[in-house]
Amino acid sequence: MNVLCISHMYPSVFNMVEGIFVHQQLKFLSEQGADVRVISPAPVVPAAARLLRRKWNQISQIPPSAEIEGICVWYPRYVAVPKALFFATSGRRMYQAVRELAPAACGKSSLDLIHAHVALPDGYAAMLLSRDLGIPYVVTIHGADLQSTIHRNTGCRNAIGRALNGAAKIIVVSSKLCRLVDQYFGLAGKTVVIPNGVNPERVCQSGGEEMGGRTLLSVSNLIPTKGIDLNIEAVSKLKDDYPDLTYRIVGAGAEEKKLRRLAAEKGIADRVFFLGQMPHTRVMEEMAKCTLFSLPSWQEGFGVVYLEAMASGKPVIGCRGEGIEDFVEHGTTGILVEPHDTPGLVEAIDRVLGNADAAEDIGRSGQEWVLDNLTWARNAQKTIDVYEGVLRDS
């Protein structure tokens, strides 16, 4: 089976972490017999922009193509307007780049199916390309489409709706997203939940001995919805009870300066460590060494990082009502708190730090559940089942 994946979220030479979950899935799809090619459109970068921001300069250096762990990836350029202006039409602009490259990317292979990750712009581009080629397409929603993009304006909502209505199947990574698909578009009948997974060989390796003292860890983009500020507030309230408590933050983003100021205002700047973006292997080492993982995010479609922490045997803390509820049973495989609830978060962290035996039990239960149920191998097989069903019906 020959599959073309369209995903602007994919690792590249300047950021090997971006879209790593898409890459992990494709590797296992390939191992299970799918011939997978990837088109990962990247923004056109004007010369002036390269001088203004380091990020744009890095994007400008993405090569036309690459091979990442056996997966062939092409990076065509398309016009992406800064600050997501005119985002409702981004799918059509992406389509222009994808359409020109698809024949070269696929070579002599006859494509059977297109798989787009996110509805806008990738799914919309897949919709237009599928009409050209006369083959079906599948869209995976990871969260942003239904939790933020859809609320930008009517144009974005309509574009997402067109992409999803035209898809042969909609894959969502959590029950929460399945409910949102039905709520906004009434398409539950063509929607299937396939959770993301972990690669046991990568996340369960030894990262060395745990750090001295108690360590709280989070891994995410530094944006408001991740709740990093709530973790800082919680650490400040627990600092006297746990003099050896430190907080390590993996990730980068626009909120970093604000979060650093908050840590200083709370008198815990010497306990909060901003580690920036890290290669995946380094992130796994941090997880292997921490005491607990806390990410009180209130806009989380799924959250692979929770799985990776659980697979590493660490107790995790997340929010109720989010994608994490699919695999965290409160008090058994992890701990759930209400969104924006700092006192509840303090209590949850205190519960883990103050009872090593209970924390170990939660970590062990979470690890066993993830490794038994949520691996990339299982994800790939379920995805191939969807592909085969779509091709039978087309």
d(CA 379, CA 25): 7
Instruction: Band the pLDDT of 14: cuts 50, 70, 90.
Output: confident
Provide the CA 62 distance to its chain's centre, in angstroms. Answer: 21
Give dist(CA 232, CA 229) in Å, integer.
5
Per-residue pLDDT at 248: 98
- Tokens describing residue 170: 């909609």
Cβ-Cβ contacts under 8 Å for 265 (sequence gap 6 or more): none
- Is pLDDT at 241 greater than 90 in this prediction? yes
Going by DSSP bridges, is the β-strand pair 71-74/65-68 parallel, antiparallel, or unpaired?
A: antiparallel
Task: Yes or no: say if 346 and 237 are a contact pair by the CB < 8 Å rule.
Answer: yes
Mean pLDDT of 148-161: 97
Instruction: Write the DSSP symbol of residue 188.
Output: G
Decide: 159 and 267 in contact? Cβ < 8 Å.
Answer: no
pLDDT at 8 over 60: yes
Residues 22-73: tens digit of each pLDDT? 999 999 999 999 999 999 999 987 766 565 666 767 778 899 999 999 999 9
Residues contacting residue 368 through CB under 8 Å, at least 6 positions apart: none
Cis before 121? omega within 30: yes
Domain with CATH 3.40.50.2000 in the chain: 2-197+375-393, 200-373
Burial of 341 (0-12, 13-18, 19+ CB in 10 A): middle
The closest alpha carbon to 365, from 331, 338, 322, belongs to 331
Strand 137-141 vs strand 214-219: parallel, antiparallel, or unpaired? Answer: unpaired
> How far apart are the C-alpha atoms of 369 and 343, rounded to whole Å?
28
Average pLDDT over residues 328-341: 97
**Which token pair is 226?**
């991740």
Average pLDDT over residues 74-98: 92
Residue with tokens 């290669």: 279
Please state which CATH class domain 200-373 belongs to. Answer: alpha beta
Sheet holding 245-250, edge to edge: 272-276, 245-250, 214-219, 292-294, 316-319, 335-337
Looking at per-residue pLDDT, the higher value among 13 and 376 belongs to 376
pLDDT band at 17 (very low <50, low <70, confident <90, very high): confident
Region of residue 259 (phi > 0: left; psi between -120 and 50: alpha; otherwise: beta): alpha
Do 311 and 370 form a contact (C-beta atoms < 8 A)?
yes
214 DSSP assignment: E
Both tokens of 208, joined, read: 């060395």
Backbone angles phi, psi at 169, to 5 degrees: -155, 145
Q: Please give the Cα distance from 137 to 116 (Å, whole number).
A: 7
Q: How far is CA 92 from the centre of its chain?
A: 24
Round to whole Å and give the CA distance between 307 and 266.
Answer: 30
Please state the rounded mean pLDDT for residues 270-275.
98
So what's the pLDDT on residue 47?
Answer: 62
Most confident of 47-61, 84-98, 106-120, 197-211: 84-98
Q: Please report, for residues 25, 172, 190, 276, the alpha-carbon distance to residue 32 in angstroms, rounded to integers and kept in the order given.
A: 11, 21, 24, 35
The CATH class of 2-197+375-393 is: alpha beta
Flag whether pLDDT at 118 surpasses 80: yes
Instruction: Detail the DSSP E strand segments found in the chain.
Output: 2-6, 35-39, 42-43, 65-68, 71-74, 77-78, 113-117, 137-141, 169-172, 191-193, 214-219, 245-250, 272-276, 292-294, 316-319, 335-337
Across residues 269-288, what is the average pLDDT? 94
Residues in the chain: 394
Residue 297's CB: how many other CB atoms inside 10 A? 25
Task: Report the candidate in 316, 322, 320 with the shortest Cα–Cα distance to residue 366.
Answer: 316
